Amino acid sequence: MTPNKATFIGFTAVLLWSLLALFTVGSAPVPPLQLNAMCFAIGGVIGVIWLTVTGSLHQLRRVRWPIYLAGTAGLFGYHFLYFSALRLAPPAQAGLIAYLWPLLIVLFSGLLPGERLNIWHIIGALVAFAGATLILGKGIAGDASALPGYALAGLCALTWSSYSLLSRRFDAVPTAAVAVYCLATSVLSGAAHFALETTVWPHGALGWAAVLGLGLGPVGLAFYTWDLGVKRGDIQLLGTASYAAPLVSTLVLVVVGIAPASPVLLIAAMLITGGAGLAAMGAARARRPVIETEPPRRAAR
């Protein structure tokens, strides 16, 4: 598989994640850990079916248990934080803060060996964080009770960017391992749910459809395509392409009527997306080779 094809496949995960907030709101009032368990059970079954059909189950024996542990921690941590954030704060605003993860991927990858940060990375980060600050300022001035949800959304962004960069480091691990991550996350979430939460089932057909949609798409297929993209494709280009996700996700919530089209929300979305775009420019410049030319020789006398 060529890097360009892998990058394109990875970008399909970004499109699916643009629906994550919508489906999460539709799944209410299912508590976060229970929702984790239900969705990842679906995502894990998808993986097992795919591995069985393709005859790839044997690949799972090559993966060491610390890899399984790290992958499970990434999926469990991110989605528990995300689902909790959208239960505690307005979904559009919390989703925007959670979508700082593409920016963090570019910034953190610039610190890796062989990579470098430049002024465009810094400017992009400041612009995007200005959008997040606008949301936080609105929350402090309006409903301070939403601040814990915003804090969880920030941790959510940090968790997923760290998981993605860790996946890049373990590029030799087959994508088949994601099926185990999903099933282990489901079991762990189920155990924590029974210990800490009260079971609440989705309301009506739309609620169940939202849970099924999460498990099939944003919390299912998306993980497999993303894992393939970050391991075989261009991770900085994927992080760059991901910058469209917060704007698309916000527009989806506005169009369906879940979030109001307030000036503050739209400005914050444009700042976060625009800041990510500036960081993308920095990533492209950092990768651009420097062409050295010899000074012209003086003509022989």
Tens of pLDDT, residue by residue over 6-23, are 888 988 988 898 898 899
Instruction: Tell me the CA distances in angstroms from 73 to 100, 162, 186, 279, one per residue in order.
Output: 20, 11, 11, 28
How do residues 195-223 score in pLDDT, each as one tens digit?
Answer: 999 999 999 999 999 999 999 999 989 98
| pLDDT surpasses 50 at 82 | yes
How do residues 20-43 score in pLDDT, each as one tens digit?
Answer: 889 999 999 999 999 999 999 999
% pLDDT > 70, the chain: 86
Half-sphere exposure of 191 (CA within 13 A, CB side): 6
| pLDDT surpasses 60 at 140 | no
The Cβ of residue 207 has, within 10 Å, a number of other Cβ atoms equal to 16
- The contacts of residue 42 (CB under 8 Å, 6+ apart) are 212, 214, 215, 216, 219, 220
| pLDDT surpasses 90 at 81 | yes
**pTM attached to this predicted model:** 0.78
Place of tokens 């940060």: 117
- The contacts of residue 7 (CB under 8 Å, 6+ apart) are 229, 233, 234, 237, 238, 241
Give the per-residue pLDDT at 291.
Answer: 45
- Of residues 145 and 225, more confidently modeled: 225
